[in-house]
């Protein structure tokens, strides 16, 4: 799927706006003539601007996002990595599709020493090209304009194995040096030149030259290992499916490899990879994959998409884990523990992390967000899915509680007004916030609320259809909303958009009157009402949801009897957050709290009771 440039999108919007004004502002004839003049003018502007943008892409460095003039179709990476040496060598060969004629090709690199760039057009032979490497970018200067069409770039470079746990980095434990990678969101460019954005997915063929005594792993399974002079060997890995650069991964070092059997519908091999000498700490991790993966396959209706799954323990990784397809990286203390010191609590936390990372194989890797403003499509989904998968391990009465707790905690954070879930990204500095807790937890809370409102089966149909439609490509929030609306027949977009694009949440003040439930949205910014499903659980009635989209709403409720004005003992009890997943606080009117606590409490589900408790506590 393509990612149109920001400038193009803005230009198209302004054109539509001018035409709308022209059509509606005056009489039809005048509008028609204005329209013709405008359309001619706009055509001219577009032609000129296309020329401008082509010229811009040829000369000036992009500010952050790459121009959409070239698209990688395939990468070959050939790297020589000796963990005890801080510099590594690489040759990246990239097959490109040029969309237009251009004299400069822009891609990403950061901190690499580019030694040589060669270019080959279709049917031709490689010729050396000039290049520049300003911060974050590599500009390949062609001797003459090339494209549209296919060309190949071959880039020879040196990179540094840093000690900052970013890009390709190395760690020492005992006498051993270990090399690992951490690329999300924009640090693959520190290890090889690439189109380092999630919209540019392509297959990767990786081969590593390493010392014979080291073990080398990457996203794909090893297909061959050949001895080379000077105690080296060349390890070739199977070409991957199309992947974004940020989830490419490799590791080299003195590892122990623990066979963890097979998992999933396709019975793919699973391994736990540890620093040498720590294989005995991998017991619980070894047991987890087959169980967790099959639950996720059952939900998505799609077999695990890759050929193998390695879980690798990274020494002192400063964060929990990263979901690289086929090679998931974990902080060593999260994945491994000496049996004598292990606890059920750690094992459960580890399984939760593994469930999250494995969920990303569908949500994030099989379907990747087109741009980082939609990172919630990966993180919100993986968080929501992991909670579902881990719930299956609990007794019936404890299920769903962790989701209510997580919702309550993130609402407390959200109340501080920090940021919405969806945010544009225009610079490296802004990438620091791309994995904010709100992206994970408010994203997951959004999914849970919508799932309960539209019904779990219909929701699952929508999710499955979205995954199938965008498999091996990219997806957006708008496309997800469309797929959910088709599957459920419900207008989910206004609800989801509000949750993702607005900061905070409403307080809902409820009053039960005879035959109706009166809802007033309070603490709403600018007086703008939220569009929210309000689900209620009432005495002797099935749970029911109504979408409230105005500040003052009245919901007809059959059988509701208010009793009398201001009475403390209502005749009907009602809890206004059925399922416990509504992203709002309930403030109950006269007598409602007494009624639901006094007579309804035992009828509520455990998540509903907890949601009642947290709302009372939050006052
Ligand atoms: Zn994640």
What pLDDT, in 10s, does the model give residues 578-608?
999 999 999 999 899 999 999 999 999 999 9
Domain at 255-336, CATH from 3.90.25.10, 3.40.190.10, 3.30.420.250, 3.30.2010.30: 3.30.2010.30
Cα dist. 426→104, 192, 246, 419, 423 in Å? 22, 22, 17, 16, 10
Distance 554 CA to ligand 1 centre (A): 40
pLDDT of residue 463: 98
Measured in Å, residue 324 CA sits from the centre of ligand 1 at 10
Q: How far is the CA of 85 from the centre of ligand 1 (A)?
A: 32
Bridge pairing between strands 87-98 and 70-80: antiparallel
The whole-angstrom separation of Cα 162 and Cα 491 is: 49
pLDDT at res. 273: 98
Taking CA atoms, 520 is separated from 131, 348, 507, 512, 589, in Å, by 62, 41, 8, 12, 11
* pLDDT on residue 28: 33
Q: Measured in angstroms, how far is the CA atom of residue 311 from the centroid of ligand 1? A: 15
CATH class of 506-618: mainly beta
Name every residue whose Cβ is closer than 8 Å to that of residue 102 and which is 6 or more positions away in sequence. 54, 57, 58, 69, 70, 142, 145, 146, 147
Cα of 352 vs centre of ligand 1, distance in Å, is 11
Write down the H helix ranges in 502-618: 592-595, 606-618
**CA 118 to each of CA 67, 90, 195: distance values in angstroms, whole numbers, following the listed order:** 21, 14, 17
324 alpha carbon, distance to own chain's centre: 12
CB 57 within 8 A of CB 185: no
**Burial 280-310, CB ≥16 within 10 A → b, else e:** ebbbbbbebbeebbebbbebbebebbbbbbb
Torsion angle of the four alpha carbons 175, 180, 182, 188, in this order, in degrees rounded to the nearest 10: 130
Please calculate the CA angle 214-216-217 and round it to the nearest 5 degrees.
155
Residue 184 Cα to ligand 1 middle (Å): 10
**Residue 219 CA to ligand 1 centre (angstroms):** 17
Q: How far is the CA of 320 from the centre of ligand 1 (A)?
A: 9
Predicted pLDDT at 570: 66
DSSP H/E element including 79: strand 70-80
For residue 224, report the distance from its CA to the centre of ligand 1, in Å.
32
Q: Tell me, in angstroms, the distance from the centre of ligand 1 to residue 12's CA.
A: 34
* Span from the CA of 323 to the centroid of ligand 1 (angstroms): 7
Distance 362 CA to ligand 1 centre (A): 11
CATH topology of domain 367-501: Neutral Protease; domain 2 (1.10.390)
Q: Report pLDDT digits (tens) over 445-490.
A: 999 999 999 999 999 999 999 999 999 999 999 999 999 999 999 9
Sign of CA dihedral 464, 469, 470, 471: positive
Tell me, in angstroms, the distance from the centre of ligand 1 to residue 440's CA.
Answer: 8
Neighbouring CB atoms inside 10 A of 565's CB total 7
Domains 63-253 and 506-618 share a fold: yes
How many Å lie between the centroid of ligand 1 and the Cα of residue 385?
11
CA of 14 to the centre of ligand 1 (A): 36
Residue 13's pLDDT is what? 30
Interval between CA 417 and ligand 1 midpoint (Å) = 23
423 CA distance to ligand 1 middle (Å)? 17
Ligand 1 centroid, distance to 375 Cα (angstroms):
9
The Å distance, Cα 25 to ligand 1 centre, comes to: 49
Domain ranges of the chain: 4-59, 63-253, 255-336, 367-501, 506-618
Cβ-contact 537, 543 below 8 angstroms: yes
CA of residue 549 to ligand 1 center, whole Å:
32
The answer to whether the Cα torsion of 458, 460, 464, 467 is positive or negative is positive
pLDDT recorded at residue 6? 27
Beta bridge partners of 534: 546
Cβ 311 vs Cβ 285: under 8 Å: yes
Centroid of ligand 1 to alpha carbon of 354 (angstroms): 10
Centre of ligand 1 from the C-alpha of residue 261, in Å: 25
Q: Which residue positions in the chain have pLDDT lower than 50?
A: 1-57, 566-568
- For the chain, the first-to-last Cα distance in angstroms comes to 47
Q: Are 387 and 356 in contact (CB under 8 A)?
A: no
Which architecture, in CATH terms, is 63-253? Sandwich (2.60)
Give me ligand 1 centre to Cα 301, in Å. Answer: 21
CA–centroid distance, 378 to ligand 1, in Å, is 7
Residues 6+ apart with CB under 8 A from 252: 81, 83, 178, 179, 208, 210, 214, 215, 216, 217
């Amino acid at each position: 799927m393509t990612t149109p440039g920001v400038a193009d999108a803005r230009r198209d919007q302004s054109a539509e706006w001018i035409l709308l004004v022209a059509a509606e502002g005056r009489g039809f004839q005048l509008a028609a003539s204005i329209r013709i003049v405008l359309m001619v003018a706009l055509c001219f502007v577009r032609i000129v601007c296309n020329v401008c943008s082509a010229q811009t892409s040829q000369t000036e460095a992009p500010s952050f996002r790459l121009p959409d003039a070239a698209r990688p179709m395939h990468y070959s990476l050939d790297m020589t990595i000796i963990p005890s040496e801080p510099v590594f060598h690489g040759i990246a060969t990239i097959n490109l599709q040029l969309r237009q004629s251009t004299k400069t090709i822009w891609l990403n690199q950061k901190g690499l020493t580019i030694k040589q760039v060669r270019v080959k057009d279709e049917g031709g032979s490689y010729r050396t090209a000039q290049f520049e490497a300003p911060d974050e970018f590599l500009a390949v200067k062609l001797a003459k304009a090339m494209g549209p069409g296919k060309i190949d770039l071959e880039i020879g470079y040196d990179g540094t194995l840093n000690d900052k746990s970013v890009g390709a980095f190395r760690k020492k434990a005992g006498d051993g040096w270990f090399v690992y990678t951490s690329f999300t969101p924009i640090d693959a460019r520190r290890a090889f030149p690439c189109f380092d954005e999630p919209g540019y997915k392509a297959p990767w063929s990786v081969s590593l030259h390493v010392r014979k005594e080291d073990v080398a792993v990457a996203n794909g399974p090893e297909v061959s290992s050949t001895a080379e002079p000077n105690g080296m060997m060349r390890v070739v890995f199977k070409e991957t499916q199309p992947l974004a650069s940020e989830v490419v991964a490799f590791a080299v070092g003195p590892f122990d490899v623990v066979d963890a059997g097979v998992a999933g519908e396709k019975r793919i091999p699973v391994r736990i990879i540890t620093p040498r000498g720590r294989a005995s700490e991998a017991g619980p991790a070894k047991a987890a994959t087959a169980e967790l993966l099959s639950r996720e396959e059952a939900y998505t209706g799609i077999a695990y998409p890759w050929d193998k799954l390695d879980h690798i323990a990274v020494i002192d990784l400063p964060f929990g884990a990263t979901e690289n397809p086929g090679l998931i990286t974990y902080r060593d203390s999260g994945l491994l523990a000496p049996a004598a010191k292990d606890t059920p609590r750690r094992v459960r936390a580890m399984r939760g992390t593994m469930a999250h990372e494995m969920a990303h194989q569908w949500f994030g890797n099989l379907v990747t967000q087109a741009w980082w403003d939609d990172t919630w499509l990966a993180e919100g989904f993986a968080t929501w899915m992991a909670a579902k998968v881990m719930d299956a391990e609990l007794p019936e009465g404890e299920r769903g509680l962790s989701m209510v707790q997580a919702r309550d905690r993130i609402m407390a954070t959200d109340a501080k007004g920090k940021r919405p879930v969806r945010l544009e990204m225009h610079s490296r500095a802004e990438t620091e916030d791309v994995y904010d807790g709100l992206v994970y937890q408010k994203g997951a809370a959004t999914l849970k609320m919508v799932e309960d409102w539209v019904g779990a089966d219909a929701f699952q149909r929508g999710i499955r259809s979205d995954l199938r439609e965008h498999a091996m490509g990219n997806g957006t929030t708008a496309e997800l909303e469309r797929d959910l609306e088709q599957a459920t027949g419900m207008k989910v977009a206004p609800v989801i958009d509000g949750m993702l694009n607005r900061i905070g949440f409403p307080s809902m003040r409820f009053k039960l009157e005879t035959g109706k439930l009166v809802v007033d949205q309070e603490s709403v910014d600018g007086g703008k009402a939220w569009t929210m499903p309000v689900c209620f659980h009432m005495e002797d009635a099935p749970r029911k949801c109504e979408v409230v989209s105005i500040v003052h709403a009245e919901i007809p409720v059959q059988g509701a009897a208010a009793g009398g004005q201001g009475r403390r003992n209502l005749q009907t009890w009602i809890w206004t957050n059925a399922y416990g997943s509504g992203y709002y606080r309930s403030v109950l009117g006269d007598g409602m709290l007494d009624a639901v606590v006094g007579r309804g409490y035992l009828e509520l589900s455990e998540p509903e009771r907890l949601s009642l408790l947290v709302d009372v506590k939050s006052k």
